[in-house]
Amino acid sequence: MQSFLVGSAILGLFLWAQPVHAQAPAKTVERLYILNCGEGDAPDQSRWSPGVNVGKRLDVVDNCYLIRHPQGNLMWDTGVGDAVAAMPEGRAGQSGAPTWRLARTLAAQLAEIGLKPSDIRYVAVSHTHPDHIGNVELFPQAMLLVQKAEYEWPSPLGVGRFKPEHPATKLEGDHDVFGDGSITILSTPGHTPGHQSLLVKLPKTGAVLLSGDAVHFKDNWENRRVPSQNVDKDKTAASMQRMADLMALNSAQLWINHDKAQSESQRKAPEFYE
């Protein structure tokens, strides 16, 4: 009996001593915020869906995403640019592109969740169209994560797509941002030469694939439609298939940057996903 009690006491001490490392901070994504980086409308949806909904107005959103990770904050896409917030009528679209409005600056939305632009370690953009790179220079110290093919894509104005002094990592394919598999840039060319998407593995929500403009809205995704302005139709189709395969592999949701209906069902900053 006595040896049983002693044994139990020893066992109890042993068990009590166990959960030491359970209090270590989580070494993975902590939070993902969806920020409203623009709202727009375009006169003819068929610019994005050739032959479908010709002449029908298209309403879109332009979301940005802030991801908190123990090794640093990552901004995914930067929206239309905070200067648009001061334009009462918004910034008019050219050649059928959306007219963009901005209700609140990105800087103000970041401040609301306790962040200054200098707190951002990485800025990754899906591509270099103006509704995605509008605020890149709000973060002059942040490391740009961009495909080399996009960085070097000749611009219509004959100038660089980024300021040459902005720190940049020019990627050639997929990239595991923090080396732990939690945030992975995926090469998804076609909309532009170096388009990329982002796979984020959230501890509670699960895996989420942020589309960029590999697809613009759900109906185009379901029907695998390719907008007429994309630089490469075959590569766009291949990228969509690759995304579908990776979503199946990771049980990932698809969050479509410009899809207004989907966006209205999602929580926006200061609320977040974890």
Q: Which is nearer to Zn ion, 117 or 227 (CB)?
A: 227
Nearest to 36 by CA among 213, 258, 199, 209: 258
Q: Which stretch binds Zn ion (CB under 5 A): 3-11, 96-104, 112-120, 127-135?
A: 127-135
The smaller minimum CB distance to Zn ion, of residues 202 and 214, is found at 214
| Shortest reach from residue 131's CB to Zn ion, in Å | 4
Of 141 and 229, which CB lies nearer to Zn ion in the complex structure? 229
Q: Give the shortest CB-98-to-Zn ion separation in angstroms.
A: 8
Tokens of residue 247, six digits: 């979503």
82, 131, 150, 259: which one contacts Zn ion (CB under 5 A)? 131
Angle at the Cα of 122 from the Cα atoms of 191 and 266, rounded to 5 degrees? 65
- Which lies closer to Zn ion via its Cβ, residue 82 or residue 213? 213
Question: Do residues 232 and 187 touch, judged by C-beta distance below 8 A?
Answer: no
Query: Closest distance between Zn ion and the C-beta of residue 152, in Å?
Result: 20
Q: Which residue has the tokens 């103006």?
A: 130
Nearest approach in angstroms of CB 127 to Zn ion is 8
Residue closer to Zn ion (CB basis): 39 or 213 = 213
> CA angle, corner 128, sides to 227 and 164, nearest 5?
160
Which region among 9-17, 77-85, 125-133, 246-254 touches Zn ion (by CB under 5 A)? 125-133
Nearer to Zn ion, 82 or 131 (CB): 131
What does the alpha-carbon distance between residue 222 and residue 73 come to, in Å, rounded to a whole number?
32
Among the residue ranges 47-55, 97-105, 129-137, 156-164, the one whose residues contact Zn ion (CB under 5 A): 129-137
CA neighbor of 36 nearest in space, from 91, 73, 85, 93: 85
Residue 259 as a binder of Zn ion (CB under 5 A): the answer is: no
Of 213 and 259, nearer to Zn ion (C-beta) is 213
Least distance between Zn ion and beta carbon 212 (Å): 8
Shortest Å, Cβ 129 to Zn ion: 5
**Region from 1-9, 117-125, 155-163, 208-216 binding Zn ion, contact rule CB under 5 A:** 208-216
Nearest-approach distance from CB 132 to Zn ion, in angstroms:
6
Measured CA distances, 131 to 48, 55, 138, 174 (Å): 15, 22, 14, 23
Q: Which of 39, 150, 213, 259 binds Zn ion (CB under 5 A)?
A: 213
CB of 77 to Zn ion, least distance (A): 8
Peptide bond into 270 cis (omega under 30): yes
Pick 69 or 191: Cβ nearer Zn ion:
191
Binding residues (CB under 5 A) for Zn ion: these are 131, 213
